[in-house]
Amino acid sequence: MSGSEDVDHALLRAMLDIVPDGLVTIDTKGIVQSFNPSAERVFGYSAGEIVGQNVSVLMPDRYGQAHDGFIDHYVRTGERRIIGIGRIVLGRRKDGSTFPMELQIGEVKSAGAHLFVGFVRDLTTRLEHDRRVAELQAEVLHLSRLSDLGHMASAIAHEVNQPLAAIGNYMGGIRRLMSDDLPPRLRQAIERVSEQADRARDIIRGMRALGRKGERPRHAEDLEALIREASALSLVGTNGTVGLALRVAPEATRAAVDKVQIQQVLLNLIRNAVEAMNGAAGSQVTIVASRADGRIELAVSDNGPGFSDEVRDRLFMPFATTKPDGLGVGLSICRTIVESHGGTLTAESPPEGGALFRFSVPAAED
């Protein structure tokens, strides 16, 4: 190596050492070749502890087991799934804790070497990206609250309108039967009851109007990235105790959806699964996406205790819940969102145990 090349190499090394993002390079076997100081701060390992190790030590166990397969698939087929795409994933620190991070992967081929370069941003410690996660969570939660309110308003209106209509009919009959010599105070009381019944009907009409929402815009979305972002948010705090298996068929990668609404559905289904499994050993959520007849079907399953036929029959009823502090509107709202996308949300009890939810969304044509 010439003196000029030495200087260029030293300059590049100095630049990589001071970049604020964690930088990790691996070979085609998944073995770490370099680990810059920012990566040391993010993961808690020193470069000496990580270089020469498989990069899976920086991931929750279930992700790490699948990672080498991803690399091998790319090397054999050249099919790009994550290279050049920024996405939110879970990382694992030296102390075993997990955290959401933004990962961007590039590829380098030079002088016979074939390396993959990963840039990592810790979304829990960097203010800008922590705000990005918080904004995404806030958007999902805000939509959930609005949907809760609208759906409850619709359910309450449906239940209350019938007795209000009966009250109105009875009051009309009472007016017709009232005699001219009825005491004025009694006549006034009857009129006041009628006025309040009319006022209650006006309130119900307002609540139903609140529950009616215009069509939200839908766009062609990368379904795998959408699912991974929702999953990463759903699994924050589980510290790697819950595994995620994701299988997206090649023909099911693009969906025409309202991204936030479908992420809300996934967030609800995954969190329900996590709570049902309650940290049991080997807990896993499996998401499978396949395509048929211009639509994409998503199946979300877990290996928890499942539910009885009686519970399954009322899962989607508003205000029906098995949680001591639950409102019982989450799955009902999820069904409404799925139906607004032209699909249906169903629940099954597979023979092997656990719970399985299926729903479909429109596929996005190229």
Residue 359 burial (CB count, 10 A):
24
The reply to whether 313 and 345 lie within a common domain is yes
| DSSP assignment letter at 214 | P
More confident residue, 182 or 95: 95
What's the total number of domains in the chain? 3
The reply to whether 167 and 94 lie within a common domain is no
Give the tens place of pLDDT for each residue, 261-311.
Answer: 888 889 889 998 998 888 788 899 999 999 988 899 999 999 988 887 767
The reply to whether 57 and 163 lie within a common domain is no
The reply to whether 236 and 302 lie within a common domain is yes
The reply to whether 355 and 224 lie within a common domain is yes
The reply to whether 86 and 17 lie within a common domain is yes
- C-alpha 9/C-alpha 325 separation (Å) is 60
**End residue of a domain, out of 69, 102, 125:** 125
Q: Which phi and psi (to 5°) does residue 162 adopt?
A: -65, -50
**End residue of a domain, out of 154, 179, 211:** 211
pLDDT given for residue 336 in this prediction: 81
Give the DSSP H or E segment for 89. Answer: strand 87-92
More confident residue, 134 or 245: 245
pLDDT given for residue 220 in this prediction: 92
Give the tens place of pLDDT for each residue, 119-158.
Answer: 888 887 665 656 666 677 766 665 666 566 566 666 666 6
CATH code of the domain containing 341? 3.30.565.10
| DSSP assignment letter at 241 | -
pLDDT given for residue 165 in this prediction: 78
pLDDT band at 223 (very low <50, low <70, confident <90, very high): very high
Q: Is the pTM of this model over 0.75?
A: no
pLDDT given for residue 325 in this prediction: 45
**End residue of a domain, out of 211, 237, 259:** 211
Query: CB within 8 A of 131, min separation 6: which ones?
Result: none
The reply to whether 81 and 206 lie within a common domain is no
Stretch 338-359: mean pLDDT, rounded?
A: 90
Where is average pLDDT lowest: 145-149, 166-170, 205-209? Answer: 205-209
The reply to whether 148 and 24 lie within a common domain is no
Stretch 216-225: mean pLDDT, rounded?
A: 86
pLDDT band at 331 (very low <50, low <70, confident <90, very high): confident
Sheet holding 346-348, edge to edge: 243-248, 284-292, 295-302, 356-362, 346-348
User: Across all residues in the chain, what is the average pLDDT?
Assistant: 78
Tell me the residue range of the domain where 117 lies: 3-125
pLDDT band at 210 (very low <50, low <70, confident <90, very high): very low
